[in-house]
């Protein structure tokens, strides 16, 4: 910390508010959108929210993307309150992001093409979905399906 930083604390004009500004982020929300009226209703609810920079809606994927200085939980709460629709943080991520996209609990038939369920925060998903490559190597070393995998057998 330099001398100027130390001195500038005494001449700070923020009046004691040490709150950090929210960072610009992208929030994906899953909302059931049936028609153009639903789309318009969701768009109006979010565009009136403080900190929102851009709202894009993909009706086929049931996905609403909000870019701005917002918190994800507040975006979901706003949609539920203003529109009366069920909303949740978008639970799907691209195949490339997940280490084991075909593990139980990860692959979902309801997911859009090229997407699987996000396993990072879900404790109910099998541990294999979150397993590292070392764990997978050890668990598959003694496979019954591959007789030549182990010389002991």
| CATH number of 67's domain | 3.30.70.100
- Residue 54 and residue 28 in contact, taking contact as beta carbons nearer than 8 Å: no
What domain range is 106 assigned to?
94-141
Confidence (pLDDT) at 114: 80
- Residue 115 and residue 94 in contact, taking contact as beta carbons nearer than 8 Å: yes
The dihedrals phi and psi of 116, each to the nearest 5 degrees, come to -135, 170
**76/101 same-domain check:** no
Instruction: Identify which has the larger pLDDT, 30 or 132.
Output: 30
In a domain, 106, yes or no: yes
Please state, for a pLDDT cut of 70, what percent of the chain lies above it: 59
Q: Reply yes or no on whether the pLDDT at 34 is more than 60.
A: yes
**32/86 same-domain check:** yes
What number is the average pLDDT over the span 69-83?
93
In a domain, 1, yes or no: no
- 9's enclosing H/E stretch is helix 3-10
**78/99 same-domain check:** no
Structure tokens of 72?
């994800």
Beta bridge partners of 140: none
Q: Reply yes or no on whether the pLDDT at 30 is more than 80.
A: yes
């Amino acid at each position: 910390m330099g001398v100027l930083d130390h001195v500038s604390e005494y001449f700070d004009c923020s009046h004691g508010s040490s709150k950090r500004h929210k960072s610009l982020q992208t929030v994906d929300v899953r909302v059931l959108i049936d028609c153009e009226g639903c789309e318009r209703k969701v768009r109006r609810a979010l565009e009136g929210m403080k900190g929102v920079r851009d709202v894009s809606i993909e009706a086929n994927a049931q996905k609403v993307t909000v870019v701005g200085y917002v918190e994800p939980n507040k975006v979901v709460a706003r949609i539920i309150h203003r529109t009366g629709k069920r909303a949740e943080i978008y639970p799907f991520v691209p195949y490339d992001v997940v280490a084991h996209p075909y593990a139980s609990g990860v692959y979902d038939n309801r997911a859009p093409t090229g997407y699987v369920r996000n396993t990072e925060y879900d404790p109910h998903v099998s541990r294999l979905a979150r397993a590292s490559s070392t764990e997978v190597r050890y668990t598959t070393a003694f496979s019954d399906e591959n007789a030549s995998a182990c010389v002991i057998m």
